[in-house]
């Protein structure tokens, strides 16, 4: 596992995504696992799991958001981001810059590269540059509490995606974020879990890769385990707890050892795509590419490539990160105009499988043109 994968995991510290949200509806493109059609004869009832998985279907239309005020003129925003070497951080930053350009604002990105000292320095830089607003992208809540409180005291609004600070946007504390683009972690985990159950015909013997130190990934794991518990012939055979450092050090060997010790394991669940890439590689190196499935979360391009190629990974749940960048700018504009941010940005959680991977790769969001929708909302379309 290379540096890119390690940093990609750091992106997910708060990416509920986390970092890094909302619900979903329906689309003509089905993401239901093809295996589910063959399960009736085995005594496995796929219907309850298909209903859960369907919550990850792409929405048919852009969500209805409250009317937006006129575009505030000449604003300067600083984006304090997780490492741009990580795909997730870079994707959100691209979305934020595109939205700022559409609004006619100046956006400066400060790359903290996962260094806590650089996070504090970035806040000081934003203060010295007299930023009108601050965007945070997937930063550890414990590292930003005091500087966020200081910004709010000075009247500078702060909006985050993927921090896991606010569980609700109703009456947030006055010393915390003005708004967070919230990710529905439990729902994402449920969708992932249902895909895994269906993909194994309801006979999953599962290796769970757990990252309990991160709230967003804990939520996803909770959701997945709730689904596994509803499957009579599914079993979590082993759980491996991991930390950031384990991705490039001990995790590959631990995954291989688990699969060799229990050849009946036929699925790996993990709450983030950086961890899934470690699993994908380990499975391929053991020659088990046709025996063990991987189900994950985030929709990162490297993982989608594995899905498209028919590799071990069969699904990944995503909330489009560029879309989230636009949502951050929408809420800052509302705050600049003296209005309340939206309570729910309604960014969909979409299950990406081989059936719809082409429509949700490289920044595409199916048939939805969210950029045009935001432009129309802002009256600049």
| pLDDT, tens digit (0-9, with 9 covering 90-100), for 31-43 | 344 344 444 445 8
More confident position, 298 or 253: 253
pLDDT at 42: 59
- Among candidate residues 275, 296, 318, the one where a domain is terminated: 318
pLDDT at 164: 84
Whether pLDDT at 107 is above 90: yes
Domain at 132, CATH number: 3.40.50.2300
In terms of Cα–Cα distance, which of 307, 330, 324 is closest to 365?
324
Q: Are residues 180 and 104 in the same domain?
A: yes
CA distance 189 to 235: 16
- Residue 71 domain-assigned? no
Whether pLDDT at 121 is above 80: yes
Q: Are residues 195 and 308 in the same domain?
A: yes
More confident position, 23 or 58: 58
What confidence tens digit (pLDDT) does each residue in 29-80 have?
A: 333 443 444 444 458 999 999 999 999 999 999 999 999 999 999 999 999 9
Q: Are residues 191 and 310 in the same domain?
A: yes
The number of folded domains in the chain is 2
Task: Give Cβ neighbours of residue 229 (< 8 Å, ≥ 6 apart).
Answer: none
Q: Are residues 240 and 301 in the same domain?
A: yes
Q: Are residues 50 and 164 in the same domain?
A: no
In terms of Cα–Cα distance, which of 136, 91, 160 is closest to 321?
91
Q: Are residues 227 and 334 in the same domain?
A: no
Residue 61 buriedness (CB in 10 A; 0-12 / 13-18 / 19+): exposed
Q: Are residues 117 and 195 in the same domain?
A: no
Q: Are residues 197 and 311 in the same domain?
A: yes
- Residue 174 domain-assigned? yes
- Among candidate residues 268, 303, 318, the one where a domain is terminated: 318
What confidence tens digit (pLDDT) does each residue in 215-231 have?
A: 778 899 999 999 999 99
- Among candidate residues 296, 318, 340, the one where a domain is terminated: 318
Containing 205, the helix (H) or strand (E) segment is: strand 205-210
Containing 206, the helix (H) or strand (E) segment is: strand 205-210
Q: Are residues 204 and 307 in the same domain?
A: yes
Q: Which residues pair with 106 in a beta bridge?
A: 76
Can you read off the two tokens belonging to residue 110?
Answer: 């400060």
Q: Are residues 203 and 303 in the same domain?
A: yes
What confidence tens digit (pLDDT) does each residue in 159-169 have?
A: 999 888 998 99
Rounded to 5 degrees, φ, ψ at 363 are 85, -5
- Residue 285 domain-assigned? yes
Question: 229 by DSSP, 3-state: which?
Answer: coil
- Residue 360 domain-assigned? no
Query: What's the order of all strands across the beta sheet hosting 313-318?
Result: 235-241, 205-210, 267-270, 293-297, 313-318, 350-352
CB 31 within 8 A of CB 349: no
Q: Are residues 105 and 139 in the same domain?
A: yes
Structural domain harbouring 39 = 3-25+32-58+185-318
Q: Are residues 147 and 271 in the same domain?
A: no
Can you read off the two tokens belonging to residue 67?
Answer: 């009317």
């Amino acid at each position: 596992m290379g540096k890119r994968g390690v940093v990609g995991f750091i992106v997910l510290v708060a990416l509920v995504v986390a970092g890094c949200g909302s619900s979903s509806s329906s689309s003509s493109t089905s993401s239901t696992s093809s295996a589910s059609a063959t399960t009736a004869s085995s005594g496995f009832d796929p219907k309850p799991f298909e209903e859960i998985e369907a919550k990850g279907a792409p929405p048919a239309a852009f969500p209805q958001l409250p009317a937006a005020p006129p575009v505030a003129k000449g604003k300067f925003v600083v984006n304090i981001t997780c490492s741009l070497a990580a795909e997730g951080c870079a994707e959100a930053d691209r979305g934020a810059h595109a939205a700022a350009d559409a609004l006619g604002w100046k956006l400066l990105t400060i790359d903290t590269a996962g260094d806590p000292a650089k996070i504090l320095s970035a806040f000081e830089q934003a203060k010295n540059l007299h930023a009108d607003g601050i965007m945070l992208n997937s930063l550890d809540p414990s590292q930003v509490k005091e500087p966020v409180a200081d910004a709010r005291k000075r009247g500078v609004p702060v909006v985050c995606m993927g921090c896991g600070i606010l569980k609700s946007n109703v009456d947030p504390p006055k010393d915390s974020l003005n708004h967070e683009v919230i990710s529905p972690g439990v729902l994402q985990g449920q969708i992932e879990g249902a895909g895994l159950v269906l993909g194994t015909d309801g006979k999953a013997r599962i290796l769970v890769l757990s990252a309990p130190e991160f709230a967003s990934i804990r939520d996803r794991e909770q959701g997945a385990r709730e689904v596994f518990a509803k499957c009579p012939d599914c079993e979590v055979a082993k759980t491996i707890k991991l930390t950031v450092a384990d991705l490039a050090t001990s995790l590959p060997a631990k995954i291989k050892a688990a699969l060799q010790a229990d050849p009946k394991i036929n699925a790996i669940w993990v709450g983030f795509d950086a961890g899934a890439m470690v699993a994908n590689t380990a499975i391929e190196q053991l020659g088990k590419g046709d025996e063990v499935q991987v189900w994950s979360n985030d929709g990162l391009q490297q993982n989608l490539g594995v899905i498209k190629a028919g590799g071990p990974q069969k699904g990944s749940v995503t909330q489009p990160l560029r879309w989230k960048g636009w949502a951050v700018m929408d809420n800052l504009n509302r705050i600049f105009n003296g209005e309340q941010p939206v309570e729910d940005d309604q960014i969909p959680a979409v299950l990406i499988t081989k059936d719809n991977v082409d429509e949700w790769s490289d920044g595409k969001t199916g048939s939805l043109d969210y950029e045009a929708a935001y432009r129309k909302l802002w009256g600049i379309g």
